[in-house]
Amino acid sequence: MKKVFGLLVCSALFFACNDSKAPAETPPSSSKNYELGDDKFVEITKKATASLEHGDVDGWAANYADNAVYLWNNFDSLIGKAAITDYWKKRRADVIDSMSFTSQIWIPMKVNTPLTEGQATGNYVLSWFVTYAKYKTGKSMKQRIHMVFHFNDNDKIDKVFQYLDRVPINQAMTQ
């Protein structure tokens, strides 16, 4: 059996490494549909997230455009910086005692050509983190959350997509 397995592995390696076709040339980055973006956008979103973590909603919203849109994966949304700020101020004052973000991953990305209908070009930051929140009910929740930030031409956040599971949040909010 070991000989058969070894033969299969060696054969797979031989055929995988023996590609007689020349590799396709990689086009210059300016002709790619997307590329790694500028780290300054990561710094903006990290600073904003740290502000929210510490309860500074005004600091968190400082880099939002006036016409920003905040969307959740359940198709709920907030429109406008004022509405987004008011929502999070009320949430931090009346619903959430404390929150923290750990195991953070941040990737800047620039979309040069839309890959799907309706996708905006420009600068994005993709983020993943574990969120821990303690609620006024005394209960807490912990979950992985994914957020996508899009920036306008003035380097302001104009769209946020937040992907999370509402079940642990709703359970933590019940008395």
Q: What is the pLDDT of residues 63-113, one digit of tens each?
A: 999 999 999 998 899 999 999 999 999 999 999 999 999 999 999 999 999
In a domain, 20, yes or no: no
Averaged pLDDT, 147-165: 97
More confident residue, 146 or 115: 146
**pLDDT tops 60 at residue 10:** no
DSSP conformational letter for 115? S
Whether residue 23 lies inside any domain: the answer is no
Helix (H) or strand (E) holding 149: strand 140-151
Select from 84, 71, 165, 81 the least CA-distant residue to 118.
Answer: 71
What pLDDT does residue 31 have? 62
Contact 125, 37 (CB under 8 A): yes
Residue 83 lies in a domain: yes
CATH number, domain of 145, equals 3.10.450.50
- On whether residue 74 sits in a domain, the answer given is yes
- Whether 91 maps to a domain, the answer reads yes
Q: What 3-state DSSP class applies to 89?
A: helix
- Under 8 Å between Cβ of 56 and 99: no
Q: How many domains does the chain have?
A: 1
Q: What is the pLDDT of residue 118?
A: 87
* Residue 97 covered by a domain: yes
Q: Provide the CA 23 distance to its chain's centre, in angstroms.
A: 33
Give the predicted TM-score (pTM) of the model. 0.80
- 16-55 confidence digits (pLDDT tens): 344 444 444 544 445 689 999 999 999 999 999 999 999 9
CA distance 78 to 84: 6
Is 80 exceeded by the pLDDT of residue 7? no
pLDDT for position 48: 95
Structural domain including 143 reads 33-173
Q: Which letter does DSSP use for residue 67 in this model?
A: E
pLDDT at 67: 98
54 belongs to a structural domain: yes
Q: What is the pLDDT of residue 115?
A: 86
The answer to whether the CB of 110 falls within 8 A of the CB of 145 is no
In a domain, 28, yes or no: no
**CA 86 vs CA 23, 52, 58, 81, 125: distances in Å:** 53, 13, 10, 8, 23
CB 85 within 8 A of CB 61: yes
